[in-house]
Amino acid sequence: MTDGAGDVGKVRGWVRAARRIVVLSGAGMSAESGVPTFRDAQTGLWAKFRPEDLATEDAFRADPKMVWDWYAMRRAMVAKVEPNAGHRAIAAFQQRHPGRLTVATQNVDGLHQHAGSPGVLALHGNIAEDTWLEAPRACCTDANLLPGTPPRCAVCGNLRRPAVVWFGETLPPEVLQAAQDAALASQLMLVVGTSGVVYPAAGLARATPGRVVVINPQASDLDAVADAVLRGGAAVLLPQLLEEHP
């Protein structure tokens, strides 16, 4: 493991040499765009609640309106922010080198997609999207959607819910499998802005046979398995690593 600004050049060499690259991003990357981290997204009325008590299926079933309103507040926060230079550097690299870099993200804010990254593997879902609480029946269609907080099927009453992974839920199997396949095929993984404590996402860095580079201003649980650790933010370091230089 190495640590320091002098390692940027070495990692840039690894980027140039790698045929398959995975970027695993976490909350720290979005925080640089001004997205409150999960536990910071509480103001006013919400300050008396623990996020873990709101981000569960049980909480939603007990008080759908309260949980829906909390997510509406988080959605409004996310809608005000823009991708940072790190998001844009990743998307630009993908556009120059189609099929060479895969993004797997723990973030639900959609900033990678907004920056132009194709095929983003959103491990924990997308806060801007909804899904059905129960398995949808034939009546659960947009035509039968009754507005409300939350909206519901006008025929059977099935509720809409945020399309994010709540505590106690499993990650979307097809998304997780695609991320695992990408990790196993990669020669280089850039782990950006994640603490490395949330599994199974953190397990991707431990599964790759390639080099692992941690990009984070703070220490993480993945530092010990990294081939290089770059102390700094994604908005500064990713352009240095991914942009073409004369």
Residues with catalytic annotation?
A: 124
Element (H, E) at 162: strand 160-164
* Angstrom distance (rounded) from CA 241 to CA 89: 9
Q: What is the CB neighbour count within 10 angstroms for residue 56?
A: 16
Q: How far apart are CA 19 and CA 97, in angstroms?
A: 10
Eight-state DSSP code of residue 190: E
| Structure tokens, 32 | 């640089």
The helix (run of H) or strand (run of E) holding residue 63 is none
φ, ψ of residue 189 to 5 degrees: the values are -125, 125
Q: Which position has the token pair 């802005």?
A: 193
